Structures are given as structure tokens and as C-alpha cells.
Chain A
Amino acid sequence: MAPSSRLHITLNKSPDKTIQTHTYNHRVDLVLPTDLYTLISAGLGPALAQPLRCWRFRAPLSALLETGFLNKYIKSGDVIMLSQGRVDADNIYTLTSGILRLSLRHETYETAGLVGKPARFGNTAGSKRPRRYLVEHNLRDPSMSPGKKNFDRLVWSFANVLKDPVTWLFCDLNQAKMPETVSCPVLSALSALPRDMQMPVVVATTDVLVPGLVAPEGSRIAGGGKSEKAEFHREMWREWALGVYEWLAMVQLGATGAADRVRVRDTVDPLLSTYEVEDGVAGSVMRLTWRGMVPATWIGRLWRAVNASMDGKDGWAAITVHGFENSPISWGANAHGSLNGGENGYTILRLPREGAAGEKSGRCIIYEVLGSQDEYS
């Protein structure tokens, strides 16, 4: 049987690691009740006002080793880059924290003249002839400069073997420190196209059924022993948590608003759909969507701003982040493949207060979804 995808559900843990180590993100959705959004939107202003830009350009790998680019963006700067292609079929290149990762087909690897190791995914277990290889080089290493052996080997390989131009997405993590009026000569030389990302697409849906966001009475995520009753309570919690996760996706489906099945007035025949919002109560939700190569630090700042402005107020909010399907890494340096679906993303749901005194405010559930090929655990 084919390996299947996994969903991690975590309680009582800070989402910092989930957010900060997930490098390549292409879509961010923030979902929250409309009245809460009205209260906190002013507080979010400063976090959203700052320009955020990513770039797209076509260039061969050798462009990264040009002195101008290397010094500005790799040695002294901090950028993330990802090349276009399919991680199970093409050569894919990534750059993060100065580390260049080349995920190569074996035909390419054998001629590239670089030293790597068999890739974690895309290879048959136990086979002596790997189909994919991973080559890693830290371009910030002092030995990575013109005239040094390692460097010149890369230059040779990029000039003679890996010489085809590819499409890159590029995001400068230090861009907030640069004045936005100054255009970068290095990027203009590559005819890079900018994409402004800081303005979200805001969609309000005023007639949504919102499920109960407090776990059912008596249910619990884990523990409680081996009795049938405890098993029932755990099952109840899982069903609730999965129902909420499915509902959040339903809210994010439609281009112009939440999917019809979660609308108050939906009267679809049970032959066509039996989907139901558990304990649904009519409400109004806002959805803010950002698209582009969104840096993890920016997402962390956004989520912190949301949390800070919610302090002392009741309500809930959820942020969902989708990773690039064809990135060879997901969280940190964990390898990622796309066989049977390369989903890698997470949702963080800040739960409403529990109990009269609100003694449990600020708790969140972290959902992390991973395709069948992902080392992250």
C-alpha cells in the first residue's frame, strides 16, 4: 500500500518552531470572526503597512556566483530562493541561509562534477543506483570565494553542465532595512519582476455556520487509560479537531467567499452532499489571503500582532500557511518529496476562552499536514 499523508495535531505548544522553520510558503490565510477583525484591524495596521516584495527572474545558477549577487545577497545579505520544476522529475535548486541545495536527477549528477549524496526521496529503497542526488554547499563559508578550489569547481559546473537558465522566486529577508525607493542594480540586471505581497485579498462571508470551537465536554486529546470510555473520549476529541480543520478549509475554498456547504441558507439535497457543520451557529467571518513567496519571519510577526491585539478580548483566529509543493525541503532541512501529493503546510488555531473566568485563554491547536514523503516529525 502506498504511504499516505499525515496530520500532526499538537496542543499546548508554542507555534514558533512550526512557523519559523517552514521556509518556502506560497499562500497565507488568516480567518477570524468579523466583529473581532473590526476590533483588531487597526492594531494590525503597522504589521501590514510595511512593504513586502518577492521577485521572479530567469537566470542560470552561475548568476548566483557573480560577485555582485554573491556579496550583496548571500555573503552579507539573507535571501531565500527556489527554482521552478517538479521535485520528482526535474533538477530543483534552493538557497536558504546561504546554503545552496541542488536536488539533481542522476543523469545530471553524474556529469555535474560535484560531490553529493543520494537524496532521501525519489529513490528506490535498497537500490544501488539512486535516481536522485542532493548536493549541498554553504556559500557563506570562507572557502567559497573566487580562486578557492571548492568555489571554482562550482563555477566550472555551472558554466559547463548546470548552465540552463531556470525560473527563480527570490525574496530578500532583509528588505525591511532597505529604503524601498532604491532599486537594486543587481536585480535589474537580471530583469527581475517584483511582486508586492503585503496587501491581502480580504473576503467577508456574512452567513457562515461556525462550528463549536470548544472541544466537547469530557473529550480529551490523549491519555485517560485503556478503558473503552477513555478511547471514546479520545475519539470524540479527534473527530472534533478534524471537523474544525475541515471547516477552516471550507471557509478558504471559494474565491468569493466560503464554500456553499458552510453557508447558513444552504439547502442541498443529502444525495448530493451530507456535509454538516457540527454544532454550527450563524456568524460572519473574514478571510485575508496573501500570495507570493512569503518569508517565515513575516508570518511570525503577523501572528504575533494578531495575538497581541487579541489579548483581553474573546474570540478565535486561525492562520493557515501552504508550502511550495515542489520544494525539496519542508521544515528546516527536512527532505520533502511530492509523490502522492507534496502537501506541506500548517494551520494554527487560537481557541476561544474556556470557562467563565477565561482561565484558559490564548491556547492554540497546531495542525501540520505532510505528504507521504516528508522527513519532518
Chain B
Amino acid sequence: MEEPSVTPPKTQKAEPPVQITIKNPEWGYARLKMIYDPPYTAESPSYPPDILTWRATLTMCLTQFFGLMGSAIHIDILYLENDEAWLRLPKNDTTMFAAAVSGYVGIIEGKNVGFKTLGMGDFLMGVLGKGEEDALWA
């Protein structure tokens, strides 16, 4: 079934199409969930973790695995929602970062704490689409 064209007819001289491909962007993105054992109740004042808890826990985790080099990894905390965080970090550090967060177990307020990686990728928009479809199947 052919659909009519989306683009309105141009009055000016049409320029030829140009396409570029980005393969090695400057940044990588991660969507993490902080997991506690035993879990916090929803009423606890320490839940959900705030931005300083995230920063401190990530620093501890990266330092534990990679020492000074780990603590020097630049991380931008883009957005927090409940116990999830959206992070941006230099693309070159993503492999190290992924290894550290997947193996980390620390202690906060007497509870074991770790991370679950919900998505990682080179483009924030790509990470955004992941996991979103789960609700459609249930």
C-alpha cells in the first residue's frame, strides 16, 4: 500500500540528500537500578536513594574495582526515577564501568547493595527504548 509523501512539495531548489554515520560517539549511557538486600520498605526515608547516595555508591564501587583510576571516571547523573538512575560517561570508560557495576556488592545502612544494569548503549535515545516494551507482553 503506497502512502502519499510526507514532505510538503518544496518551492526552493531541492538539495541532495546527505547522510553521515556516527560510530564512536564521545559518550556512553547507562540505566541502572540500585538493589538492596533486604529491600527497603516504600515508607523508609532512605528510599529511593538520592543523588548523593548514587554518587557515593558509584564512587565506592569504581574505587573498589579500579582504585584511583576508577574513582576518576567522569559520571554525569542525568535523571533519577525511584530506584533507577540514568547516567552518562565517557564512551572509553564504559567497559570498565560495566564490569564494576555488575560485580559490586557494598553495604549501606546494614543492607547489602548492588546494581542491576537495565540498559547500556552509545546513544541515550537507544537506551530509552529498551525494556519499555515489557509492559505490552504482560
A contacts, CB < 8 Å to B? 4-16, 19-20, 26-27, 56, 78, 84, 167, 169, 195, 221-223, 238, 242, 245-246, 248-250, 252-255, 259-261, 268, 271-275, 291-293, 297, 300-301, 303-304, 307-308, 311, 320, 322-325, 341-343, 345, 347, 359-360, 362, 364, 367, 369, 371
Contact = CB atoms under 8 A, between A and B. Distances in A.
A301 B122 CA distance: 30
Contacts, number: 182
B127 interface: yes
B137 A167 contact: yes
B136 A56 contact: yes
B109 interface: no
A253 B132 contact: no
Contacts of B123: 5, 7, 245-246, 249, 343, 369
B116 to A, nearest CB: 16
A311 to B, nearest CB: 6
B130 A248 contact: no
A254 B86 CA distance: 10
Nearest to B76: A273
Nearest to B26: A242
B7 A15 contact: yes
A245 B125 contact: yes
Given A9-B22, A167-B137, A221-B18, 19 more contacts: A4-B24, A7-B22, A8-B19, A10-B17, A11-B18, A14-B7, A222-B18, A238-B20, A242-B26, A245-B125, A253-B128, A254-B79, A259-B86, A272-B76, A292-B136, A325-B129, A341-B120, A345-B126, A371-B126
Contact of B125 (A271, A292, A324, A347): A347
A56 B51 CA distance: 39
B21 interface: yes
A355 to B, nearest CB: 11
B99 interface: no
Given A4-B24, A238-B20, A360-B12, A26 B77 contact: no
A341 B16 CA distance: 32
Contacts of B86: 253, 259
Contacts of A78: 1
A7 B27 CA distance: 13
Given A5-B122, A249-B125, A369-B123, A259 B78 contact: yes
Nearest to B95: A2
Contact of A4 (B122, B130, B135, B137): B122
A360 B15 CA distance: 11
Contacts of A307: 6-8
Interface centre among A324, A341, A347, A371 (most CB of B within 10 A): A341
Main secondary structure of the interface of A (DSSP, over half): mixed
28 contacts: A5-B123, A6-B21, A8-B19, A8-B20, A11-B17, A14-B5, A15-B6, A16-B6, A56-B137, A250-B78, A250-B124, A253-B78, A253-B124, A259-B78, A260-B80, A272-B52, A273-B78, A303-B6, A304-B4, A307-B6, A308-B8, A323-B129, A341-B126, A342-B130, A343-B121, A347-B125, A369-B123, A371-B121
A348 B135 CA distance: 25
B121 A341 contact: yes
A254 B79 CA distance: 8
A168 B10 CA distance: 42
B25 interface: yes
A360 B79 CA distance: 35
Nearest to A169: B136
Contacts of B25: 7, 242
A280 B3 CA distance: 37
Interface in B2-52: 3-8, 10, 12, 14-27, 51-52
A341 B124 contact: no
A253 B12 CA distance: 37
B124 A273 contact: no
A78 B1 CA distance: 10
Given A238-B22, A250-B124, A253-B79, A341 B6 contact: no
Interface in B77-130: 77-81, 86, 88, 119-130
B47 to A, nearest CB: 17
Contacts of B16: 12
B102 to A, nearest CB: 14
Contacts of B12: 359-360
A12 B129 contact: no
